[in-house]
Amino acid sequence: MGTTLATNLAGARFNGSECTFSVWAPLKERMILHLTESKRQVEMKKDDEGYFSITLKDVKQGAKYFFRPDNEKDYPDPTSFYQPEGVHGPSQVYTHDYEWKDQAWRGLPFKDLILYEVHVGTFTQEGTFEAIIPYLDELYETGINALELMPVSQFSGGRNWGYDGVYPYAVQNTYGGPDGLKRLVDACHQRGIAVFLDVVYNHIGPEGNYLPQYGPYFTDTYCTPWGDAINFDGDWSDGVRDYFCNNALYWFKYFHLDGLRLDAIHMAYDNGAYHFWQYVNDKVKQLQEEVGRPLHMIAESDLNSPRVINPLVIGGYGFTAQWLDDFHHALYVMLDPKGRERYIDFGLIEQLAKAYTDGFVHSGEYVKFRKRKHGVSSAGIPGDKFVAFNLNHDQIGNRIHAERLCVLVNHEKVKLGAAALMLSPYVPMLFMGEEYADQSPFYYFVSHTDPALVEAVRKGRKEEFKDYKGEGESPDPYDEKTFNDSKLKWVKRNEGKHKITLEWHKRLIQLRRSNKAIGNFDKNDITAQVIAQDALVIHRQAVGGSDHVLCLFNFGEQKVRYTMPLGNKKWRKILDSQEVQWSEDGKQKQTLPSLTTSSEEVVIPPTSVIVYEEVR
């Protein structure tokens, strides 16, 4: 796999007619390779770094095998590339032979992306990688050019969000395995669509987690919501760091992925001088030079710290970008006043203004939810270092009834929220179906085979929602109906208000790409003016000040008067959510004039957004 690898890649790897099996188990004295179909058992040899290996000439693709640490019990390969029989079954030799058709693909700049988060199991009725392919053309026509797949590493059963994966290198068998993922990536690239994958390096799922049987992958020095932390800085941590670092490189090299989204990076603890995230991003940047196309790394972080996205050369973690939760929270409470019960530290229009101009809303202030001061300023950091959204799997699935925004608020507010996102100086992400206001819930679901674990999950969900008893009961996460109810209703895409919402998103994306001011990520070229308790004006300009745009947002129920900026300028309307083509009932509402001038007063209707560009 080239010079970029942190160390030797373990697993079952073909080299010509030979297959080398390798596994890291530094504290074990012996290791047996057990080829199940031939019942052959072979002693493996250990090196100084704790890797056991053996090379055989008569092994074919598809051969199934276990490893047996200290000759005690058979376990699947921790670096298994495929688990066709699930998390407890044998690993299968997989050669990664695939005839790629994306040789012309050179990737996309991060700033140009419209991300689209997808759960493979619920995006289609079939719930497979290949079942997604027929929908790609419609997504691309909408303006979406980057899929972000929720985790696909092998988990127990066939229904799961993916964050319970236990084989980081193995692609979920029920989704179509590694070949299915490659066919999806290939099809996306041929249509101009990038592919990102959500990966989890802060914990391993509960069922089928046999890593402790091999080595010191975990440490009790730190505690996480999932138990002991991954051992990134303790004794024998070099092998652990390489195991996860190589996994990131593995996805890029063997699956031609364009980016990774790293789950909850603040839960990966490392007190060493060379932080694990620096290590990973350093190696990814080396691989980027080798492959000659951009490889993007997106962090989910709860730190509100620029360190996450600062360059490696100044001590940052070096991520391409990070999710911007503060933007979601500040916007959501303006759209749904009930959201202030959920996000107790948000609710002021000034906070949304700060989210537009600075990024982090909490930048050192006292936060009631955390009972302490939180964050530092991100002012001045370019907008393309952040991913903003109205919905994601967490924001939907962690509600009792898993309602999407379009179920919680009316059509006008759905349009308003979409515009607030697409007109922001950030890289936008939609959750699958959001572009046409799909009303399907996205519940939390599992299909573990361990009854005790299933019961623990049920109790955990009830405990999580104990403060929301007035809202009823959340459905059983183990019930298959819970999973099936979460599947998209794609057929509604071209019906009624769903079609209007879809066309609204198309218009916003087109405007984002064609207007130089809206497409500018420089924070020095954006200002936010609060003009009422529930209204603000975002002033954006192109690099060098050549083009100017005014985005007038009224989140309230009352009209708001606004005087256009001073100066001898004319302003032409390029977007108005009140126009008849965007109306749910087909009736024309109060609209603003198509052309206005400096110092002229306009009246912004309730729950609306209007965009003017300077006439040059």
- Six-digit token string for 284: 């990814």
Q: Which of 198, 300, 325, 438 is catalytic?
A: 300
What is the predicted pLDDT for the residue at 586? 80
What are 45-91's pLDDT values in tens digits?
A: 999 999 999 999 989 899 999 999 999 999 999 999 999 999 999 99
| Residue 215: pLDDT over 90 | yes
Query: CA dihedral defined by 362, 465, 402, 420, rounded to 10 degrees?
Result: -20
The domain segmentation of the chain, as residue ranges, is 11-92, 443-485, 510-615
What is the predicted pLDDT for the residue at 394? 95
Residue 262 carries which side chain, given as an amino acid letter? Answer: L
Q: What is the DSSP string of 147-183?
A: EEEPP-EE-SSS---STT-SEEEEE-GGGTHHHHHHH
What is the predicted pLDDT for the residue at 546? 85
Topology at the third CATH level for domain 11-92 = Immunoglobulin-like (2.60.40)
Q: How far apart are CA 478 and CA 568, in angstroms?
A: 64
What is the predicted pLDDT for the residue at 1? 40
What are 271-302's pLDDT values in tens digits?
A: 999 999 999 999 999 999 999 999 999 999 99
- Six-digit token string for 295: 């490889």
What is the predicted pLDDT for the residue at 510? 98
What are 333-392's pLDDT values in tens digits?
A: 999 999 998 999 999 999 999 999 999 999 999 999 999 999 999 999 999 999 999 999
> Mean of the pLDDT values across residues 423-431?
98
Higher pLDDT, 60 or 248: 248
CB distance 124 to 130 below 8 Å: no
CB distance 202 to 268 below 8 Å: yes
pLDDT band at 15 (very low <50, low <70, confident <90, very high): confident
pLDDT band at 6 (very low <50, low <70, confident <90, very high): low
Closest by CA position to 604, among listed 566, 568, 573, 570: 573
Q: How far apart are CA 433 and CA 498, in angstroms?
A: 10
Closest by CA position to 327, among listed 410, 391, 276, 239: 391
pLDDT band at 587 (very low <50, low <70, confident <90, very high): confident
- Which residues are bridge partners to 429 per DSSP? 115, 389
> Mean of the pLDDT values across residues 447-468?
91
What is the predicted pLDDT for the residue at 589? 79
Q: Which of 263, 325, 345, 614 is catalytic?
A: 263
All residues at 6 or more sequence positions from 610 whose CB lies less than 8 Å from its CB, including other chains: 551, 552, 573, 575, 576, 577, 578, 592, 602, 604
Rounded to 5°, the CA angle 275-377-385 comes to 65
> Mean of the pLDDT values across residues 179-183?
98
**What value does the mean pLDDT of the chain take?**
95
Q: How far apart are CA 231 and CA 219, in angstroms?
A: 5
CATH of 510-615, one of 3.40.50.11030, 3.20.20.10, 3.40.50.1980, 2.60.40.1180: 2.60.40.1180
For the chain, how many residues are written? 616
Question: Residue for token digits 């997106």?
Answer: 298
pLDDT band at 133 (very low <50, low <70, confident <90, very high): very high
Q: How far apart are CA 231 and CA 221, in angstroms?
A: 9
> Mean of the pLDDT values across residues 235-260?
97
| Residue 11: pLDDT over 90 | yes
What is the predicted pLDDT for the residue at 280? 98
> Mean of the pLDDT values across residues 496-509?
97
Domain 510-615 in the same topology as domain 11-92: yes
For strands 31-35 and 18-24, give the pairing.
unpaired
**179 a catalytic residue:** no
CB distance 346 to 337 below 8 Å: no
Closest by CA position to 10, among listed 70, 81, 86, 65: 81
Give the torsion sign (CA, 160, 163, 164, 168).
Answer: positive
All residues at 6 or more sequence positions from 226 whose CB lies less than 8 Å from its CB, including other chains: 202, 203, 204, 206
Half-sphere exposure in the Cβ direction for 272 (13 Å, CA):
16
> Mean of the pLDDT values across residues 502-509?
98
> Mean of the pLDDT values across residues 592-611?
95
Rounded to two decimals, the pTM is 0.97
What is the predicted pLDDT for the residue at 2? 46
**263 a catalytic residue:** yes
